[in-house]
């Protein structure tokens, strides 16, 4: 078991869809729990459009299935605390950034998180829901919790190179410029969990709980490749420019709000 960086004691993960949290942070979550810490997951949607079956896509039944998959997957990691933010799958980019940032800020405060993990601005894959969650979470930290550690899940240069052929074959980064991951060097990684075989086996069992999303992909790329794909979970800190972008969102909200003494005043 290898680890670089400080292990959180109270970890909040903010993600867009069920299974995001498992691919990017299952090992980290399990380590925090094993060390006596607490983990909470905030999930923006239930991922109800994450299927190629038209009869299922967008249905209440499939939303319930994906919620159950998430709860089972987290349970396999020792995590029982999960909150759904109630947005429709695919709608996050259209939500009000400031309203969602305020909701996440409230979650951070209620949970008393010392560390928050989420997507970087590229959303790992470029997915619009992922990128929206990044905006909200970064703005929440900048506006209300600047002392909380914020970490973005990232792909390292080594990971991108090692799996490039597979990534291209499944079009994982098709929504990013050039169809390539926005990879970072190891010098930018603030927290890295390199999972040993036992930890990796547990992560694989947690991923298997998301069967509607993972079964076909594991069969397509082969179990050996799938098993080692996310053995290393890496996280980086936001850049000053990324924090400034979030502060801009918060600033727009403040500028648009009426003066405090006029709120609720009679006209």
3 state SS of 167: helix
Beta carbons of 153 and 159 less than 8 angstroms apart: no
Strand partners, 3: 193
Beta carbons of 175 and 125 less than 8 angstroms apart: yes
Sorted by where each starts, the structural domains of the chain and their CATH numbers stand as 2-262 (3.40.50.10320)
Give this prediction's pTM. Answer: 0.92
pLDDT of the chain along its 267 residues, tens only?
566 778 999 999 999 999 999 999 999 999 999 999 999 999 999 999 999 999 999 999 999 999 999 999 999 999 999 999 999 999 999 999 999 999 999 999 999 999 999 999 999 999 999 999 999 999 999 999 999 999 999 999 999 999 999 999 999 999 999 999 999 999 999 999 999 999 999 999 999 999 999 999 999 999 999 999 999 999 999 999 999 988 887 776 555 554 444 333 333
- Alpha-carbon distance 132 to 125, whole Å? 12
pLDDT at 261: 42
Instruction: Tell me which residue of 33, 14, 18 sits closest to 193, measured CA to CA.
Output: 33
- Alpha-carbon distance 205 to 217, whole Å? 15
- Alpha-carbon distance 19 to 229, whole Å? 14
Instruction: Give the burial class of 32: count Cβ atoms within 10 A of its Cβ; 0-12 exposed, 13-18 middle, 19 or more buried.
Output: buried
Q: Which contiguous run of DSSP H or E holds residue 15?
A: strand 10-15
Q: Which contiguous run of DSSP H or E holds residue 161?
A: helix 157-162
Report which DSSP code applies to 58.
T
């Amino acid at each position: 078991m290898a680890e670089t960086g400080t292990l959180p004691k109270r970890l909040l993960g903010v993600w867009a869809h069920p299974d995001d949290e498992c691919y990017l942070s299952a090992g980290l979550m399990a380590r925090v729990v094993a060390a006596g810490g607490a983990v909470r997951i905030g999930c923006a949607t239930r991922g109800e459009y994450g299927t190629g079956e038209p009869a299922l896509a967008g249905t209440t039944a499939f939303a319930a299935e994906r919620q159950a998959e998430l709860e089972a997957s987290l349970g396999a990691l020792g995590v029982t605390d999960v909150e759904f933010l109630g947005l429709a799958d695919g709608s996050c980019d259209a939500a009000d950034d400031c309203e969602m940032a305020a909701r996440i800020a409230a979650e951070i405060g209620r949970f008393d998180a010392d560390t928050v993990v989420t997507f970087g601005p590229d959303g790992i894959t470029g997915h619009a829901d992922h990128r929206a969650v990044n905006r909200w979470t970064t703005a929440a930290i900048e506006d209300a919790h600047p002392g909380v550690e914020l970490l973005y899940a990232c792909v390292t240069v080594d990971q991108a190179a090692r799996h490039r052929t597979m990534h291209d074959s499944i079009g994982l980064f098709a929504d990013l410029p050039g169809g390539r991951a926005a990879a970072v060097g190891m010098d930018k990684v603030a927290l890295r969990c390199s999972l040993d075989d036992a930890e990796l086996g547990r992560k694989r069992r947690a991923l298997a709980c998301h069967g509607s999303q993972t079964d076909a992909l594991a069969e397509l790329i082969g179990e050996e490749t799938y098993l080692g794909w996310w053995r290393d979970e890496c996280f980086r800190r936001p850049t000053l420019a990324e924090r400034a972008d979030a502060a801009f969102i918060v600033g727009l909200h403040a500028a648009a709000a009426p003066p405090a003494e006029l709120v609720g005043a009679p006209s």
